[in-house]
Homo-oligomer: A and B are copies of this chain.
Amino acid sequence: MLDKQSPIPIYIQIEEQLKQQIQQGDFPIGAAIPSERELTERFDVSRMTVRQSITNLVNDGLLYREKGRGTFVASPKVEQPLNGLTSFTEDMQSRGMVPSSKLIGFEILEPDSDIAEELQLADGDKVYFVERIRFADDKPMAIERTYLPVGRFPNLNRDSFQGSLYAMIENEQQLKISRATQRMEAGLVKKEDADLLQIKPPAAILMIERISYLADGQPFEVVRSTYRADRYKFTTDIKR
């Protein structure tokens, strides 16, 4: 059942097994899974190891615990929203659409005070400014304006923005992206943006500003996006 010699930690192996058993219906929705002590015996591991597996599944929303009663299978979510920090590319793919992109602006400039503050820049620090139209199934979906500190990424050029920026940062630069703050608001489309998005005013748009942070808490990116309201809905999961 478990491979204790495997480089994969035991608690992750147990997680996978439980996940699979839940999906197979071995444990129906609302039913109790075996108690921690029972799993301890079944897998011949310590209770803390079993607890680590279960804690992760509880955090993922697959299980819930009740003091003195047991651990139970939660009902699956109606809709599986794309949680976590994702790129436009990942986002569209998860919606079953084919993403593409057109670079319409690239320059190095001194940011205005909003951006400078959000990126925690010093006076005189410059940023890359990248402007792209984002397409889904070849139809315009959004305009994306990205600001990146030159200081942190000294050698970027137009080509850097063809592939996945996040992958480049995490693999080539060996930095860890950890989280983002997102601000969302509705508005009426401006004339210039209406042309780029191929819509006619008056029309509603969804404006999203994202500030992304590395694991050390430093911001590394500000993205301001303008989405066509008729084509884009944003879904999140919230925990109490």
Binding site for B on A (CB under 8 A): 29-30, 48, 61, 64, 66, 72, 74-79, 81, 83-85, 117-118, 120, 177-188, 202-206, 210-211, 213, 215-219, 227, 229, 232-240
Q: How far, in whole Å, are A120 and B76 apart by their CA atoms in the complex?
A: 12
Q: For residue A235, which residues in chain B have a CB less than 8 angstroms away from its CB?
A: 181-184
Partner of A78, one of B76, B204, B219, B240: B219
Contact flag A239-B75 (CB < 8 Å), given A64-B178, A217-B64, A234-B183: no
Q: How far, in whole Å, are A178 and B66 apart by their CA atoms in the complex?
A: 13
Q: For residue A177, which residues in chain B have a CB less than 8 angstroms away from its CB?
A: 240
Q: How far, in whole Å, are A188 and B205 apart by their CA atoms in the complex?
A: 9
Q: How far, in whole Å, are A204 and B188 apart by their CA atoms in the complex?
A: 6
**Is there contact, CB below 8 Å, between B186 and A187?**
yes
Q: For residue A185, which residues in chain B have a CB less than 8 angstroms away from its CB?
A: 206, 229, 232-234
**Is there contact, CB below 8 Å, between A182 and B240?**
no
Q: For residue A48, which residues in chain B have a CB less than 8 angstroms away from its CB?
A: 48
